[in-house]
Structure 1
Amino acid sequence: MTVYILRRLLLMIPTLIGVVVLTFVVIQFVPGGPVEQYIMESRAGAVGMGGEAGGGTSAYRGSQGVDPKRLEEIKALYGFDKPPLERLAQMLGRFARFDLGNSFFQNKSVWDLIVEKLPVSISLGLWTFLISYGVAVPLGVAKAVRAGTRFDLVTTLFVLVGYAIPGFVLGVALLVVFGGQLQWFPLRGLTSANWDELSWGARIVDYLWHITLPVTAMVLGSFAVTAMLTKNAFLEEIRKQYVMTARAKGLGERQVLWKHVMRNALIPIVTGFPAAFIGAFFTGALLIETLFSLDGLGLLSYESVIRRDYPVVMGTLFFFTLIALVTKLISDLCYVWVDPRVKFD
């Protein structure tokens, strides 16, 4: 086990380097770099955008009319006065020390921006994870026990319809109906403007009031997958020989189901906990955060790409990739924890 873990940890290094290098190369061919962004923001009359992003030797059409000396100063400010390979080597050196650099436009370090936006993503992800598993797993067990009944058919219909509706479309519908027409819930933000002035009880109510619609929009997809996975896993175990033997020995149905079947049926679900838990924080929230004006990591990444804020783009990508690799390792190790028969030899 120790050798396997060390091998996986060592394999993370070339994977991280490969992801960073590939993204860096792609960035070189993206039109409109930070220099152009700076010029466009400082000169309202700038004409268009062009050239190659991040390539310090390209001629920026958007910089026409700018003093050449001033242009060189701007390039030096963003580090584009150096060759691409040198900039790549410097960036990899910083990442090796877990230094993600500083934002071009927000005057903050990338780590500070991630920490600042993380509470919003944690709020969305934690509630999505808890509700998805807290409701979907019992529902899946109930569907497996009542397979083929009217209850199973009706719940399957609702689950599949919910899964077929994209979270963003559902979010728009919730905003229009419950936020616009009925005005039961707020249209934007995670808390009210006067949140600091409220009592603790009022703060909790205000927070739950704001989080209801975005969490509902995010839950539906993962909820459907977990419910159907639980049902199929239980159906597969219920039909096995050891279940028939346990029943033949006179064990009650509840004891057979929760003591014997549950332990084996939950293996694919439990081993997916780490990935689902972390994934709920960092994936799938971009559209929801944009729609409900929630300033989280998804919105930060999107705005950084639009503004060509490359340190934030590369830093968040490095952070997300590292989290994904560690989570995948934990998921694999969970197989051994849940089922000791699994070996990594």
Structure 2
Amino acid sequence: MTAYILKRLLLMVPTLLGVLLVTFAIVQFVPGGPVEQMVAQLQGRDSGGERAAAVGAGYRGRQGIDDKRIAEIRQLYGFDKPAHERFFQMLGQFARFDLGRSFYQHKDVWELVKEKLPVSISLGLWTFFLSYLIAVPLGVAKAVRAGTRFDFVTTLIVLVGYAIPGFVLGVALLVVFGGQLQWFPLRGLTSANWDQLSWGGRIVDYLWHIALPVTAMVFGSFAVTAMLTKNAFLEEIRKQYVLTARAKGLDERRVLWKHVFRNALIPIITGFPAAFIGAFFTGSLLIETLFSLDGLGLLSYESVIRRDYPVVLGTLYLFTLIGLVTKLISDLSYVLVDPRVKFD
């Protein structure tokens, strides 16, 4: 086990370097970078990525801006150094867990991530817990009643929920419950007077605002877990040890919950760490945009559009590292759940 863990930790290094290298190389060829955008601003143009891209490689269309000013702009954003030197400088910063500083928001990337985390945690944790609380009991019930009308109806509902994109359901919820019925707010995580409310009022206000976006995310996310739970239980129920337990006269409920339940949950529990950690750092761009929630998904999208490379690369490094560690924890959880599993 120790050798396996060390091997996996060592493999994380080239994987992480490969992800950063590929992304950094692509960034070098993307038009409309920060230098081009600054040139466009100085010429009175729109500073957005699409208009700034018209400046193009070599800063075409820079009439009226001398070479000295261009050199100062390049130095301001660190583009006066060769690409390989900037790459190794970035790696040195990341090794110290210094994610850099945003070009446009003038804040450290760590600070930006901390600012956006509450929204993403709110969406992710509620979606995670509600999905598991609904999916696992539903999957067990479907396995026990396999082939019945209940199984058919719930399968139809689950598949419909899985087929409908979350943002489409979110639009429908906004129109019906936020616009026509006006039961829920249309935007934001809390009300404007949230600081003036009591603790009970704050909780109610928060749940009132989070109800629609979480519903839009949960409705499709629990489908895979529910069907996985059902199939895992059906596979275990058909095994020899279950037939033997029934032949000995054991109560059906005891057979199901004491013998089948533990073995059937192995593929579900092993995915639990990745889903749990992902709930903290996963941002949903479309849901956040639709409900005007300023989270990590919206931060990533805006950073790409504005060519805010420190934010793009810094968050990529952080989330890739978290993903690799979480994947290792998920693999090791197999041993904790099922001691028969050995890593050779």
Tell whether the structures are fold-level matches, with TM greater than 0.5. yes
- CA distance in 2 between counterparts of 1:84 and 1:66 reads 24
Q: For residue 100 of structure 2, give the secondary structure of its aligned residue in structure 1.
A: coil
Cα offset, 1:44, TM superposition: 3.0
Question: Is the Cα contact below 8 Å between 1:51 and 1:59 reproduced in 2?
Answer: no
Question: Is the Cα contact below 8 Å between 1:163 and 1:220 reproduced in 2?
Answer: yes
Aligned residue number for residue 111 of structure 1: 110
Q: Deviations over 1:294-341 (max 9, x none)?
A: 111111000000000000000011111011101100100010000000
Asked whether 1:185 is paired with 2:184, we answer: yes
Structure 2 CA distance for partners of 1:91 and 1:176, relative to 1, 3 Å: same
- CA distance in 2 between counterparts of 1:223 and 1:184 reads 25
Aligned residue number for residue 36 of structure 1: 36
Cα offset, 1:227, TM superposition: 0.6
Aligned residue number for residue 22 of structure 1: 22
- CA distance in 2 between counterparts of 1:62 and 1:134 reads 58
Counterparts of 1:264-275 in structure 2, within 5 Å, are: 264-275=263-274
Q: Deviations over 1:30-50 (max 9, x none)?
A: 110011223434553469433
Aligned residue number for residue 52 of structure 2: 49
Structure 2 CA distance for partners of 1:150 and 1:157, relative to 1, 3 Å: same
After alignment, is 65-74 or 259-268 more displaced?
65-74
Aligned residue number for residue 8 of structure 1: 8
- CA distance in 2 between counterparts of 1:171 and 1:152 reads 27
Letter in 2 for 1:14: P
Structure 2 CA distance for partners of 1:62 and 1:342, relative to 1, 3 Å: farther
Aligned residue number for residue 88 of structure 1: 87
Q: For residue 225 of structure 1, give the secondary structure of its aligned residue in structure 2.
A: helix
Cα offset, 1:343, TM superposition: 0.5
Q: Deviations over 1:216-249 (max 9, x none)?
A: 1111222111111000000000111101111111
Letter in 1 for 2:52: M
- CA distance in 2 between counterparts of 1:45 and 1:332 reads 52
Size of the aligned set, in residue pairs, is: 341
Q: Which TM-score applies when normalising by structure 1?
A: 0.95
- CA distance in 2 between counterparts of 1:155 and 1:305 reads 40
Aligned residue number for residue 307 of structure 1: 306
Letter in 1 for 2:252: E
- CA distance in 1 between counterparts of 2:120 and 2:58 reads 39
After alignment, is 80-89 or 258-267 more displaced?
80-89
Cα offset, 1:110, TM superposition: 0.5
Cα offset, 1:52, TM superposition: 8.9
Cα offset, 1:12, TM superposition: 0.7
Letter in 2 for 1:203: R
Q: For residue 132 of structure 2, give the secondary structure of its aligned residue in structure 1.
A: helix
Q: For residue 52 of structure 2, give the secondary structure of its aligned residue in structure 1.
A: coil
Q: For residue 53 of structure 2, give the secondary structure of its aligned residue in structure 1.
A: coil
Q: Deviations over 1:150-201 (max 9, x none)?
A: 1111111100000000111111111111111111111111011111110000
Unpaired runs of at least 5, structure 2: none
Aligned residue number for residue 128 of structure 1: 127
Letter in 2 for 1:124: L
Letter in 1 for 2:236: E
Aligned residue number for residue 297 of structure 1: 296
- CA distance in 2 between counterparts of 1:66 and 1:115 reads 38
Q: For residue 63 of structure 1, give the secondary structure of its aligned residue in structure 2.
A: coil
Q: For residue 315 of structure 1, give the secondary structure of its aligned residue in structure 2.
A: helix
Q: Deviations over 1:76-98 (max 9, x none)?
A: 01001111111111111111111
Q: Which TM-score applies when normalising by structure 2?
A: 0.96
Identity of aligned residues (%): 80
Aligned residue number for residue 146 of structure 1: 145
What CA RMSD, in Å, does the superposition of the two structures yield over aligned residues?
A: 1.6
Question: Is the Cα contact below 8 Å between 1:49 and 1:60 reproduced in 2?
Answer: no
Unpaired runs of at least 5, structure 1: none
Question: Is the Cα contact below 8 Å between 2:145 and 2:151 reproduced in 1?
Answer: yes
